[in-house]
């Protein structure tokens, strides 16, 4: 009987085999590769031939003059993005829900989630063009209004906010979909009851729509906790320059420069390992919270 069952399950194992093998080689082997963080790694000597140096790489990282600022930039940018990335789509979804014209609603959605599908290369190319202090259209408007040209991508005071604003611009439409679906799922009789009780539009929004969205808001807020150390490598890498390292350099860009440009493999892996480790805790915590608060399960 047991053998029968094993035989019956065999095709399912076969289906998983190729995927499991690729994941093993390209996801699990690199996990073992983090031992580079404890080595004076030299590529020609390999993982087993390089000298073990204990925690030296970590000591080096913690003593780097810039590391505190980079961690701060990472947290600052990502937390601002999370907050803006939650509030803006919620607000837009609520406003869009008030729209009665289906045509308007549909067209609006189609237009605003388009940027989500464009890469940060395309978006950065556009931003570099329109935000340029000399020929960019944004600064021409600023000047026409009597202001002074702003170097959005080269000024440390502006750069983090340019990142947050452009991230919201790219992603809010896409996030709106989920909130709008949550609103659609609200039982219409709740609105009827509210109208009976004399609730106007504002009160319906406040006492029916928002509470109805709350489970989804809580869910997405907790899940975003896992991203606190991801400030958006693709965006920052394509928009930053040495003049804004002070306000815009994040962990992932630092890892890239140290690891790929300077070829300090051990040090870069050490920073990456610290980041992965903290992220592991944060993601686990976020899944646990999402499970407890919103009964969410990944699979």
Partner 1 sequence: MHTNKSLGGIAFTAANYGFLLLVSVACLLPLVHVFAVSLSSSTAASAGLVGIWPVEATLASYDYILHKPEFLRAFGVSLERAALGFALNMTLTVLCAYPLSKQTKDFRLRTAYAWYFVATILFSGGLIPWFLTINATGLVDTVWGLVVPGAVPVFNVILMLNFFRGLPGEIEESAFMDGAGYFTVLWRIVVPLSMPVIATVALFTLVGHWNAWFDGLILMNFPEKYPLSTYLQLMVINSNPLALSGLSLSELSEISQRTTRAAQIFVGALPILLVYPFLQRFFVKGIVLGSVKA
Q: Which of residues 67-126 bind partner 1 (CB under 8 A)?
A: 92, 95-96, 98-100, 104, 107-115, 117-119, 121-122, 124-126
Footprint of partner 1 on 33-52 (CB under 8 A): 33-34, 36, 43, 47
Stretch that binds partner 1, among 50-58, 65-73, 77-85, 192-200 (CB under 8 A): 192-200
For the segment 127-156, give every residue that binds partner 1 (CB under 8 A).
127-130, 135, 137, 140
Minimal distance, residue 11 CB to partner 1, in Å:
4
Binding segment for partner 1 (CB under 8 A), chosen from 60-68, 72-80, 155-163, 251-259, is 251-259
Name residues whose C-beta falls within 8 Å of residue 150's C-beta, 6 or more positions apart in sequence: 133, 139, 142, 158
Establish if 212 lies at the interface with partner 1 (CB under 8 A). no
Residues 263-292 that bind partner 1 (CB under 8 A): 265, 268-269, 272-273, 275-276, 279-280, 283-284
Among 60, 158, 169, 291, binds partner 1 (CB under 8 A): 169
Q: For tokens 């502006």, what's the residue?
A: 158
CA–CA distance, 170 with 260 (Å, rounded to integer):
28
186 in helix, strand or coil?
coil
Answer for which of 204, 206, 207, 243 binds partner 1 (CB under 8 A) is 204
Cβ pair 177, 117 in contact under 8 A: no
Instruction: Report the residue number, 79 or 177, with the smaller CB distance to partner 1.
Output: 177
Selected from 18, 65, 146, 198, the binder of partner 1 by CB under 8 A is 18
Pair 131, 153: CB distance under 8 Å: yes
Nearer to partner 1, 68 or 119 (CB): 119
Quote the least distance from Cβ 84 to partner 1, whole Å: 14
User: Total binding residues for partner 1 by CB under 8 A?
Assistant: 98
| Cα distance between residue 57 and residue 267, in whole Å | 5
Selected from 207, 256, 289, 291, the binder of partner 1 by CB under 8 A is 256
31 binds partner 1 (CB under 8 A): yes
| Range list of H helices, the chain | 2-23, 29-33, 46-49, 56-62, 67-97, 102-112, 114-117, 120-130, 137-144, 159-184, 188-196, 201-204, 210-224, 233-239, 245-248, 251-256, 265-294
Minimum distance from CB of 128 to partner 1 (Å)? Answer: 7
**DSSP string for 44-84:** TTHHHHSEE-TTHHHHHHHT-TTHHHHHHHHHHHHHHHHHH
Which residue in 152, 151, 163 sits closest to 230, CA to CA?
A: 163
The dihedral sign for the CA sequence 199, 202, 205, 207: negative
Q: Of the ranges 53-61, 68-76, 78-86, 256-264, which one interacts with partner 1 (CB under 8 A)? A: 256-264
178 binds partner 1 (CB under 8 A): yes
Interaction between residue 203 and partner 1 (CB under 8 A): no
Provide, rounded to whole angstroms, the least separation between the CB of residue 160 and partner 1: 17
User: Does position 163 bind partner 1 by CB under 8 A?
Assistant: no
Range 126-149 burial, b when 16+ CB lie within 10 A, else e: ebeeebbbeebebbeebeeeeeee
Judged by CB under 8 A, does residue 225 bind partner 1? no
Who's near 101: CB < 8 A, 6+ residues apart?
A: none
Decide if residue 211 touches partner 1 (CB under 8 A): no
């Amino acid at each position: 009987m047991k053998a029968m069952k094993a035989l019956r399950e065999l095709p399912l194992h076969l289906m998983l085999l190729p995927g499991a093998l690729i994941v093993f080689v390209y996801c699990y082997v690199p996990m073992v590769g983090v031992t580079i963080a404890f080595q004076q790694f030299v590529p020609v000597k390999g993982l087993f031939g390089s000298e073990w140096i204990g925690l030296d790489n970590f000591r080096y990282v913690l003593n780097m003059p810039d590391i505190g600022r980079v961690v701060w930039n990472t947290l600052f940018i990502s937390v601002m993005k999370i907050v803006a990335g939650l509030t803006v789509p919620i607000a837009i979804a609520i406003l869009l829900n008030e729209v009665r014209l289906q045509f308007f609603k549909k067209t609006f959605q189609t237009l605003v989630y388009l940027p989500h599908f464009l890469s940060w290369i395309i978006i950065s190319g556009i931003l570099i063009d329109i935000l340029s202090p000399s020929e960019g259209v944004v600064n021409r408007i600023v000047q026409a209004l009597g202001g002074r040209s702003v170097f959005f991508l080269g000024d440390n005071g502006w750069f983090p906010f340019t990142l947050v604003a452009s991230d919201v611009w790219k992603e809010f439409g896409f996030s709106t979909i989920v909130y709008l679906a949550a609103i659609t799922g609200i039982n219409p009789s709740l609105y009827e009851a509210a109208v009976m009780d004399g609730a106007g539009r504002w009160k319906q929004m406040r006492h029916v729509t928002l509470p109805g969205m709350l489970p989804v808001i809580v869910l997405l807020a907790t899940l975003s906790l896992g991203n606190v150390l991801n400030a958006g490598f693709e965006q920052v890498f394509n928009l930053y320059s040495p003049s804004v390292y002070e306000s815009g350099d994040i962990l992932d860009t630092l890892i890239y420069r140290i690891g790929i440009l300077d070829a300090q493999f051990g040090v870069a892996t050490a920073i990456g390992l610290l980041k992965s480790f903290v992220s592991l805790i944060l993601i686990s915590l976020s899944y646990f919270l999402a499970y407890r608060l919103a009964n969410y399960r990944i699979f």
